[in-house]
């Protein structure tokens, strides 16, 4: 397997030594669960296609199919480990069990170290500082190279920072969901914390493929997210139609502009786009081609200002509060 495309720029994430492509492959759907099923061969082809087209950042988690996504990432990238940046995550884990949890991820990924390991979600009233201490110890042992948090508030970041340096905050950020601009992104910028955007395509919405009437296969978690809520979806749909017209005028597909718009925003270092197959990977990686007129981003921002204001701040799009 060869990485033929060297045109995707790379960035540094926090204090992690290895650079990684600014467009990363989101590997949640490869877990199968939560997305109404997924074919393993298609997942492996998608991961290999991503590497071959120049993506070096792969984002997985223990909870994506209970480790299945980690296993597939490990299998697909065997032989090119030194050329890729692997990020994984774990849910809240007490300090004394953190190392065991990291070792379990290492085993599934078939690697000796993980480049960036996140606390996936904060848990209310849990000892997050203690978990951070466990991660700092794993970093000192070389099991992980960097520490991230995800879905944290500023107050929670301040708390864990007392126990160790946060390298990255992974948060939902896209043309429809911009609540991070309020205080999270400014805090990260002031404190040397890289911002990694997830759901860059708003889980497929920003490809423009959904019709006004929604249909999901059983087991697809998307039907219960706030963006597809029956009160909210009509606003989202109308806004996406406007974005589609703007994309047509700019003669670039909406998915490409949605990804590039994120990278044009202040303080964003990496954007994660998920995919179900190699075709979607190829469509998304094309986002990195060529220059885009800043006026296009301005018109997207102004449409986004209106749509984003019609989406309630539910804390997170999943309305999940562990």
Contact with ligand NAP (CB under 6 A): which of 21, 23, 26, 163? 26
As to burial, measured by CB atoms within 10 angstroms (0-12 exposed, 13-18 middle, 19+ buried), residue 294 is: exposed
From the CB of 195, what's the least distance to ligand NAP, in Å? 12
Kindly tell me the number of DSSP H helices and DSSP E strands found in the chain: 10, 10
* String of contacts with ligand NAP for each residue 242-271, x by CB under 6 A: -------------x----------------
Q: Does 198 bind ligand NAP (CB under 6 A)?
A: yes
Distance CA 316, CA 294 (A): 29
Q: Does 114 bind ligand NAP (CB under 6 A)?
A: no
- State the number of binding residues for ligand NAP (CB under 6 A): 27
Is residue 38 a contact point for ligand NAP (CB under 6 A)?
Answer: no
**Between 207 and 299, whose beta carbon lies closer to ligand NAP?**
207
Secondary structure of residue 219 in the 3-state scheme: coil
Residue 21 binds to ligand NAP (criterion: CB under 6 A)? no
- Residue choice 32, 65, 134, 274 for contact with ligand NAP (CB under 6 A): 274
Distances from the Cα of 147 to the Cαs of 19, 170, 236, in angstroms? 15, 11, 34
Of residues 272 and 292, the one with the C-beta less far from ligand NAP: 272
> Among 320, 179, 187, 198, which residue's Cα sits nearest to residue 259?
198
- The set of catalytic residues is 64
CA-to-CA distance for 89 and 125, rounded, in angstroms?
20
From the list 41-49, 98-106, 126-134, 279-287, the region that binds ligand NAP by CB under 6 A is: 279-287
- Please list, residue by residue across 248-281, b when 16 or more beta carbons sit within 10 angstroms of its beta carbon and e when fewer do: eebebbbbbbbbbbbbebebbbbbbbbbbbbebb
Site for ligand NAP, rule CB under 6 A: 26-29, 59, 120, 150-151, 170, 198-204, 207, 209, 255, 272-276, 280, 283-284
């Amino acid at each position: 397997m060869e990485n033929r495309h060297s045109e995707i720029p790379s960035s540094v994430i926090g204090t992690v030594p290895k650079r990684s492509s600014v467009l990363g492959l989101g590997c949640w759907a490869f877990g199968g669960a939560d997305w109404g099923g997924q074919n393993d061969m298609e997942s492996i082809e998608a991961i290999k296609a991503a590497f071959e087209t120049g993506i070096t950042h792969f984002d997985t988690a223990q909870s994506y199919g209970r480790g299945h996504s980690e296993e597939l990432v490990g299998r697909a990238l065997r032989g090119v480990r030194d050329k890729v940046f692997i990020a994984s995550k774990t849910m809240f884990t007490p300090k004394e069990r953190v190392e065991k949890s990291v070792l379990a991820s290492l085993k599934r990924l078939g690697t000796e170290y993980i480049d960036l390991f996140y606390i996936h979600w904060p848990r209310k009233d849990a000892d997050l500082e203690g978990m951070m201490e466990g991660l700092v110890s794993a970093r000192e042992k070389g099991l992980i190279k960097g520490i991230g948090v995800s879905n944290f508030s500023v107050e929670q970041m301040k708390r864990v920072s007392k126990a160790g340096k946060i390298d990255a905050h992974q948060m939902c950020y896209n043309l429809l969901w911009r609540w991070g601009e309020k205080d999270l992104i400014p805090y990260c910028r002031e404190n040397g914390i890289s911002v990694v955007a997830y759901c860059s395509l708003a889980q497929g919405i920003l490809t423009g493929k959904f019709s006004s009437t929604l249909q999901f296969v059983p087991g697809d978690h998307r039907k219960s997210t706030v963006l597809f809520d029956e009160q909210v979806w009509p606003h989202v749909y109308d806004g996406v139609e406007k974005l589609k017209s703007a994309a047509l005028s700019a003669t670039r597909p909406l998915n490409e502009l949605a990804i590039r718009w994120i990278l044009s925003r202040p303080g964003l270092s990496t954007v994660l786009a998920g995919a179900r197959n190699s075709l979607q990977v190829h469509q998304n990686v094309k986002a990195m081609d060529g220059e885009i007129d800043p006026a296009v981003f301005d018109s997207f921002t102004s449409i986004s200002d209106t749509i984003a204001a019609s989406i309630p701040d539910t804390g997170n799009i999943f309305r999940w509060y562990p």
